[in-house]
Amino acid sequence: MLELFRIGMIGRAGTLFDGFDAAFRDGDVWAVTGPPSSGKSRLLGVLHGEGKPDAGDVMLDGVPLYRGTSESVPRFRRVSGIVGEALDVGTHTVGDLFRLASLAAGDVPESERKAREAALLSMVGLPGSAGFVFRSLSLSEQARAALAIELFRGPRVLLLDAPIARIGKEWTEMLSALFRALAREGRIIVFAERELPPLFPMKPVTEGTRCGPFLLTQLMAGSPGEAVG
């Protein structure tokens, strides 16, 4: 379980949010929606260990992320992944980035890496794109490729910054199916958007909860092998 305890953050114009509590179980999918500059991206960064909140802490299975040992953040980041702004990857190809991901995942054998790479790229609608320079892709293609590369590592916690806005509404069916499949494997998925599209395939499990500037909405709830919502 991934938990937020009394999280508080201060922005340029004052307090963004304070006393923010939430609990994300294995197999859950949650959407954090809110207006621009409300702190959604910063919240995802806090959840990924990229910046200590001004108050409170994040816990994974009862182990504190920021107020634990010096190994707490590196340990957490090994089992979590984040897809946010476009990657600054120079002239690397998509295949180069998969090779780097395979090293982070424990130096996966080349034959297995290529098979998984091909399957993931096909899943996000980019078959045969391994040889393309990443920054030559369209914004939607970059977002989908970045998602596939992050999934290569098999993160238990997956954090996504505006995936619908970046990937495009025409890919919402794919994204919804992916969320459901990952949740059924017991992954935790938290994504941020300004708002959910009216026809987004995943419907709320319960009514959204207001947490400061955010609306926190659960789209799928369950545990490994259990599908709800």
> pLDDT tens digit string along 26-75?
999 999 999 888 888 888 988 888 888 889 899 998 889 888 788 888 88
Position 145 scores a pLDDT of: 94
Dihedral angle computed from the Cα positions of residues 203, 209, 211 and 216, in that order, rounded to the nearest 10 degrees: -20
**Measured distance CA(31)–CA(36) in Å, rounded:** 15
Banded model confidence at residue 130, pLDDT cuts 50, 70, 90: very high
Residue type, 149: I
**Measured distance CA(100)–CA(134) in Å, rounded:** 13
**Residue ranges per structural domain of the chain:** 1-79+155-229, 86-154
For domain 1-79+155-229, the CATH superfamily is: P-loop containing nucleotide triphosphate hydrolases (3.40.50.300)
Per-residue CA distances from 165 to 23, 174, 193 (Å): 25, 14, 7
Total-model pTM: 0.89
Position 229 scores a pLDDT of: 31
In terms of Cα–Cα distance, which of 179, 145, 174 is closest to 159? Answer: 179
